């Protein structure tokens, strides 16, 4: 038997190019804000989600660094790494700690500082999520691997790149009213269609930006809840994996880890896709958004793009996604994104999302994906 | 310069060497501890023919460190039934399409600067002439 | 020189890069309007991901496939080149590893300017002919360097071939005899750190190319007791087509006899690969009983001359890409800047 786990506090830094803030400043700001929001004092453990601290910042032992910076020593502190899903994986670690009863209150923070390094160094670092010997060492960049998926998808579905525009547009639309978002301007279909190519058919407007940021959530057991809290229950937490190399998958368009993490999350939360009011998807690339919707059972492949065109996934639609801008427009500081998703879902379920509010939001699915679907971390949160 | 790592990789990089399972006969690339199909450990080295077709492709404009762009990359469907990702060479972007027959060649993958190690490995190009069988 | 054990060519393979440069593009940058036309209309250019190692691997693979012998029968491999990817680290070991020939073999790189490839052939004949090994792979391959604007830039091409020698039984061509003629003649050279060679202009002609090629050729014809007209084909080193035409005439070979081997007309001078590529082009079409005359030239200076005869054995010799396949596979580099990048002449 496991204990119920609740989220009682969130914190987020704005996402952007923070020339004046390093990793410890970013993470500290998020953790301090989350702890203040939770109005709590005793933290048993800190789990830090971070992917590129070693590759880009010359810093490992990141959890100790942050615990020290925030004043949480000598508590348990560990770095959790799952490529671009590290932030959600840190929440997963905190969930396990509290659900198991080992800890009563744990903080999970995702942090990434990407903008100190030059572009080719960042590109190499991101490629460490791929298979080094059989993908990265052959010059495959992370964008290129996603482009292989998108090109194949367009070929098999006989679609054009333009059919993916709604995902980019809705993300920017939602980010326009999110003060923490990196991009605050909506974009048009014309801009999407005419944008430069990152790796054809992926255009720069299909892709999330390189940026810095940190987000944190405070998780606790039922026994720690107080009347002043606005707790959001973690109804389920699930992780699944698939091959690290894209070429090793029988179907490169089937995000099996995403599918499995979602179906197990639904089972554990005793609900179905129809019960979900909003979905924070891993929209690092529009192709991943589309494949995630399919993998999680929200729509068959033939319906996904059609529904997108009809506004199904936009704010006000039947299944809002990327409600604060998503990875695409709020931003994707890689190891932190998973925690941003969860912090945003908590705000939605509390009714504190302001102009971005999804009406009557009761259940949210968040899913963070690492390495082209090689690892997926899903959470279902309930008001 | 990762000299030992590249040294370990010379069989797959120079010869596209994978494995043939002595139990069920299936071919896998790259090599693993056990057969992906039947989990047997009875595996023999097996160089793949290098012949295949393009399954998907793209062009890299922002390369990782050590690579000079732009260049084409592809996922190739090899005739043994396995897929491999690699660069394409000897072909113009407009000549590439899904289904194009290609063959494996050994080319310079990377140079660690003007004084550094040269990494050789497989790429794929449009087939020239029918090679042996 | 005749080996104790009869030796033949079991298989061969060629390689020419796909890229071409019209030499008039060089003229447009460096020469005055109305200047004499370049000696060749276009030359082959290696892509950025090609070098002597990659090209030798491909030529070697074709040679092995055509010979149809198991790789472990090959006991020696030499790569003759003047554009080694490493000044110190043998190209031969990378090539041998890629061909699956390692580890039981003699391997090294050879240098003798444009005759480094035929140098490897002499060594191959000796190792097989003395019974030391059952198979020896001799490769001549180059990505020739030339200073921008220099006369050599108009002709310096890339390519070469691999010749697999073995015991005469089962060979597609027999080695009747060979000879070498070598002196210290400083017509063309390159110091260790220099990116481009120096040359002596007209000194590279009569006292160099012609003196050594004529001397070695006459010596060999004398040794085997044959006349030029007995040969179906004659292959010479090809710095420019005119040199081949003149040396052929002086020896008594006809234009017809040298035509097939004169690949330089379509791709320029592949330095250590040049004469072997010419030989490969001849082997692609020669018929049983045909005699083939071969004489290379390398600056510094010297020539290796060989007399071959095609046997009756078919031995699947012509599987795989022919020299013509490579010559007709071409993509033109549009402009001089693109060429400079491909040839790594832009330093940054």
Answer yes or no: do C116 and C142 share one domain.
yes
B85 and A140 within 8 Å at the Cβ level: the answer is yes
Is B61's Cβ below 8 Å from some Cβ in A? Answer: yes
pLDDT at C144: 84
> Cβ of B47 under 8 Å from any chain C Cβ?
yes
Q: Is B117 on the interface with C (CB under 8 A)?
A: no
Number of C-beta neighbours around residue B115 at 10 A: 6
Selecting among C42, C50, C114, C199, the annotated active-site residue is C114
Cα dihedral C267, C269, C273, C275 in deg (nearest 10): 100
Which residues from chain A sit within 8 angstroms of residue B75, using beta carbons? Answer: 148, 152, 246-247, 252
- Render the burial of B43-78: b for 16+ CB within 10 Å, e for the rest: beebbbebbbbbbbbbbbbbbbebbeeebbbbbbbb
pLDDT at position B69, please? 85
**What is residue B91's DSSP assignment?**
-
The answer to whether B129 contacts C50, with C-beta atoms less than 8 Å apart, is no
The alpha-carbon gap from C333 to the nearest alpha carbon of chain B, in Å, equals 12
CB atoms within 10 A of CB C287: 8
Q: How confident is the model at residue B126 (pLDDT cuts 50, 70, 90)?
A: very high
Report ipTM (2 d.p.): 0.94
Tell me what pLDDT residue C145 has.
86
Q: Are residues C75 and C94 in the same domain?
A: yes
Annotated active-site residue in A84, A211, A220, A296: A84
CATH code of the domain occupying A122-209+234-382: 3.40.47.10
Question: Rounded distance, CA A62 to CA A324, Å?
Answer: 27
Distance CA A337, CA A331 (A): 8
Q: Can you say whether residue C252 is alpha, beta or left, with left for phi > 0 and alpha for psi between -120 and 50 degrees?
A: left
pLDDT greater than 90 at residue C346? no
Question: Which residues are paired to C177 by β-bridges?
Answer: C307
Q: Do chains B and A touch (3 or more CB pairs under 8 A)?
A: yes
Q: Mind listing the pLDDT tens digit for each residue in B16-35? A: 999 999 999 999 999 999 99
pLDDT of res. C136 = 98
Which tens digit of pLDDT belongs to each residue from C142-159? 998 889 998 899 999 999
Q: C65 and B131 in contact by Cβ < 8 A?
A: yes
Chains C and A touch (3+ CB pairs under 8 A): no
Is the minimum CB–CB distance between B82 and chain A shorter than 8 Å?
A: yes
Among B73, B83, B119, beta carbon nearest to A140: B73
Residue C210 covered by a domain: yes
Residue B91: name the closest of B78, B77, B101, B81 by CA: B101
Q: Please, which pLDDT band fits residue B131 given cuts at 50, 70 and 90?
A: low
- Report the chain C residue with the minimal C-alpha distance to residue B115: C86
Q: One fold for both A5-118+211-232 and A122-209+234-382?
A: yes
User: Could you list the mean pLDDT of each consecutive 10-residue stretch along chain A, which spans 383 residues?
Assistant: 93 97 97 96 96 96 97 97 98 98 98 95 95 96 97 97 97 98 97 96 93 98 96 98 97 98 98 98 97 98 97 96 98 98 98 97 98 97 97
Tell me the per-residue pLDDT of A301-341, one tens digit each, with 9 for 90 and over: 999 999 999 999 999 999 999 999 999 999 999 999 999 99
The CA R_g of chain A, rounded to the nearest whole Å, is 19
Judged against a pLDDT cut of 60, whether residue B133 lies above it is answered with no
Nearest of C232, C231, C261, C230 to residue C245 by alpha carbon: C261
Asked whether the beta carbons of C269 and C240 are under 8 A apart, the reply is yes
Q: In the predicted model, is pLDDT for residue C316 greater than 60?
A: no
In tens, the pLDDT along C132-191 reads: 999 999 999 999 888 999 889 999 999 999 999 999 998 999 999 999 999 999 999 999
Single out the residue of A351, A330, A370 nearest to residue A86, CA to CA: A370
- Kindly identify which residue of chain C lies nearest to residue B117, measuring between CA atoms: C86
Structural domain boundaries in chain A: 5-118+211-232, 122-209+234-382
Q: Which of residues 12-41 of B touch A (CB under 8 A)?
A: 12, 30
Q: Does the pLDDT value for residue C314 go beyond 70?
A: no
Residues C290 and C154 grouped into a single domain: no
Q: Rounded to 5 degrees, what angle do the CA atoms A199, A201, A202 make?
A: 60
Contact between C319 and B92 using a beta-carbon 8 Å cutoff = no
What integer is the mean pLDDT of B39-66?
Answer: 96
* Domain presence at residue C267: yes
In chain C, the number of structural domains is: 2
Is A228 noted as a catalytic residue in this protein?
A: no
Q: What is the pLDDT of residue B75?
A: 98
- Where helices occur in chain A by DSSP H, the ranges are 23-38, 53-57, 62-70, 86-99, 119-126, 142-157, 165-175, 189-194, 256-269, 286-295, 301-309, 326-329, 337-350
The model's pLDDT over C12-30, given as tens digits with 9 standing for 90+, comes to: 999 999 999 999 999 999 9
**What is the 3-state secondary structure of C72-105?**
HHCCEEEEECCCCCCCCCCHHHHHHHHHCCCCCC
pLDDT digits (tens, 9 = 90+) for B84-116: 999 999 999 999 999 999 999 999 999 999 999
Say whether both C65 and C200 belong to one domain: no
Whether residue C347 has pLDDT greater than 80 = no
CA angle C75, C79, C80 (to 5 degrees): 135
Residue of chain B nearest C342, judged by CA positions: B68
Domain assignment of residue C347, yes or no: no
Give the chains touching B; criterion: ≥3 Cβ pairs < 8 Å. A, C
Nearest to A365 by CA among A347, A350, A382, A340: A382
Domain CATH code at residue C34? 3.40.47.10
Burial class (CB in 10 A: 0-12, 13-18, 19+), B126: middle
Nearest alpha-carbon partner for A367 in A27, A82, A12, A2: A82
Judge whether C184 and C274 are in contact, CB under 8 Å: no
Local structure of A212: helix, strand or coil: strand
Match domain A5-118+211-232 to its CATH number in 3.40.30.10, 3.40.47.10, 2.40.50.140, 3.40.50.720. 3.40.47.10
Three-state SS string over A110-125 comes to EEEECCCCCHHHHHHH
Is the pLDDT reported for residue B132 higher than 50? Answer: no
Of C338 and A242, the one with more pLDDT:
A242
Given this model, what pLDDT does residue C317 score?
Answer: 55
User: Do C81 and C138 touch, CB atoms closer than 8 A?
Assistant: no
Which residues in C lie closer than 8 A to residue B131 (C-beta atoms)?
62, 65, 319-321
pLDDT digits (tens, 9 = 90+) for C85-102: 999 999 999 999 999 999
Whether A139 sits inside 8 A of B60 (CB atoms) is yes
CB contact under 8 A, B90 and C94: no
Q: Is residue C2 part of a domain?
A: no
H or E element, residue C243: helix C241-251
Question: C225 with C123, same domain?
Answer: no
State which residues form the domain around C227: 176-310
Show which subunits contact A, needing at least 3 CB pairs below 8 angstroms. Answer: B
Beta bridge partners of C240: none
Together in a domain, C159 and C221: no
Catalytic residue among A103, A229, A282, A332: A332
Record: contact B67-A151, CB cut-off 8 A: no
Instruction: Return the percentage of chain B with pLDDT > 90, whole number.
Output: 92
Same domain, C140 and C196: no
**Most C CBs within 10 Å, among B104, B115, B117, B128, to test the C interface:** B128
**pTM as predicted:** 0.94
């Amino acid at each position: 038997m496991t204990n119920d786990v609740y989220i009682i506090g969130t914190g987020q830094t704005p996402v952007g190019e923070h020339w004046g803030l390093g990793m410890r400043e970013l993470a500290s700001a998020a953790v301090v804000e989350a702890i203040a929001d939770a109005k709590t004092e005793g933290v048993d453990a800190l789990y830090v989600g971070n992917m590129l601290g070693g590759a880009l910042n010359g810093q490992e032992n990141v959890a100790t660094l942050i615990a020290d910076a925030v004043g949480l020593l000598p508590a348990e502190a560990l770095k959790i790494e799952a490529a671009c899903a590290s932030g959600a994986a840190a929440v997963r670690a905190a969930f396990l700690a509290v659900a198991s009863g080992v800890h009563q209150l744990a903080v999970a923070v995702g942090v990434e500082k990407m903008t100190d390094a030059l572009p080719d160094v960042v590109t190499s670092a991101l490629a460490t999520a791929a298979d080094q010997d059989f993908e990265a060492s052959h010059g495959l960049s992370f964008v290129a691997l996603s482009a292989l998926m998108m090109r194949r998808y367009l070929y098999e579905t006989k679609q054009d790149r333009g059919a993916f525009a709604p995902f980019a547009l809705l993300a920017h639309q939602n980010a326009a009213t999110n003060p923490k978002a990196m991009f605050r301007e909506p974009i048009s279909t014309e801009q999407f269609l005419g944008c430069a190519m990152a790796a054809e058919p992926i255009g720069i407007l299909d892709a999330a930006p390189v940026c810095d940021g940190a987000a944190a959530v405070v998780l606790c057991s039922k026994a720690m809840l107080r009347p002043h809290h606005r707790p959001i229950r973690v109804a389920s937490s699930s992780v699944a994996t698939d091959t690290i190399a894209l070429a090793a998958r029988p179907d490169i368009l089937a995000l099996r880890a995403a599918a499995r993490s979602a179906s197990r999350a639904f089972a554990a939360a005793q609900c179905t896709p129809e019960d979900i009011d909003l979905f924070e998807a891993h929209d690092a690339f529009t192709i991943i958004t589309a494949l995630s919707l399919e993998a999680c059972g929200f729509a068959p492949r033939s319906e996904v793009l059609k529904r997108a065109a009809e506004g199904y996934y936009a704010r006000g639609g039947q299944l809002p996604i990327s409600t604060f801008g998503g990875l695409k427009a709020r931003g994707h500081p890689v190891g932190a994104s998973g925690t941003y998703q969860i912090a945003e879902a908590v705000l939605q379920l509390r009714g504190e999302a302001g102009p971005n509010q999804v009406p009557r939001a009761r259940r949210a699915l968040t899913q963070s994906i690492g390495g082209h679907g090689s690892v997926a971390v899903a959470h279902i949160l309930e008001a | 310069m990762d000299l030992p790592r590249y040294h370990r990789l010379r069989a797959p990089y120079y010869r596209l060497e994978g494995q043939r399972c002595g139990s069920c006969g299936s071919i896998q690339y790259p090599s693993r501890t056990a057969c992906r199909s039947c989990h047997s450990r009875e595996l023999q080295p097996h160089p793949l023919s290098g012949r295949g077709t393009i399954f998907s492709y793209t062009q890299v404009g922002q390369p990782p460190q050590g690579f000079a762009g732009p260049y084409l990359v592809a996922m190739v469907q090899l005739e043994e039934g396995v897929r491999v990702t690699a660069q394409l060479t000897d072909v113009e972007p407009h000549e590439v399409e899904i289904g194009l027959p290609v063959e494996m060649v050994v080319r310079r993958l990377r140079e660690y600067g003007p004084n550094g190690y040269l990494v050789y490995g497989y790429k794929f190009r449009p087939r020239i002439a029918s090679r042996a069988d | 020189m005749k080996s104790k054990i009869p030796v033949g060519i079991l298989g061969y393979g060629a390689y020419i890069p796909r890229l071409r440069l019209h030499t008039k593009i060089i003229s447009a940058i460096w020469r005055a309007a109305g200047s004499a036309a370049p000696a060749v209309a276009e030359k082959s250019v290696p892509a950025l991901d090609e070098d002597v190692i990659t090209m030798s691997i491909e030529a070697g693979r074709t040679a092995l496939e055509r010979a149809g012998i198991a790789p472990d029968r090959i006991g020696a491999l030499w790569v003759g080149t003047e554009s080694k990817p490493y000044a110190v680290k043998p190209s031969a070991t990378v090539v041998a590893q890629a061909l699956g020939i390692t580890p039981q073999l003699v391997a090294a790189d050879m240098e003798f300017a444009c005759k480094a490839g035929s140098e490897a052939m002499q060594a191959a004949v000796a190792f097989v002919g003395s019974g030391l090994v059952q198979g020896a792979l001799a490769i001549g391959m180059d990505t020739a360097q030339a200073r921008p604007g220099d006369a050599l830039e108009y002709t310096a091409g890339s390519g070469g071939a691999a010749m697999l020698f073995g015991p005469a039984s089962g060979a597609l061509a027999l080695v009747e005899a060979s000879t070498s003629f070598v002196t210290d003649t400083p017509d063309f050279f390159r110091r260790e750190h220099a990116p481009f060679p120096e040359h002596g202009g007209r000194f590279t002609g009569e006292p160099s190319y012609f003196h050594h090629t004529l001397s070695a050729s006459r010596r060999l014809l004398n040794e085997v007791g044959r006349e030029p007209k007995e040969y179906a084909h004659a292959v010479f080193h090809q710095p420019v087509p005119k040199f081949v035409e003149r040396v052929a005439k002086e020896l008594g070979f006809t234009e017809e006899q040298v035509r097939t081997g004169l690949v330089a007309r379509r791709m320029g001078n592949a330095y250590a690969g040049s004469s072997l590529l010419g030989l490969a082009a001849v082997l692609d079409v020669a018929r049983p009983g045909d005699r083939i005359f071969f004489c290379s030239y390398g600056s510094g200076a010297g020539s290796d001359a060989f007399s071959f005869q095609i046997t009756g054995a078919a031995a699947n010799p012509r599987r795989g890409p022919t020299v013509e396949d490579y010559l007709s596979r071409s993509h033109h580099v549009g402009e001089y800047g693109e060429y400079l990048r491909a040839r790594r002449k832009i330093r940054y």
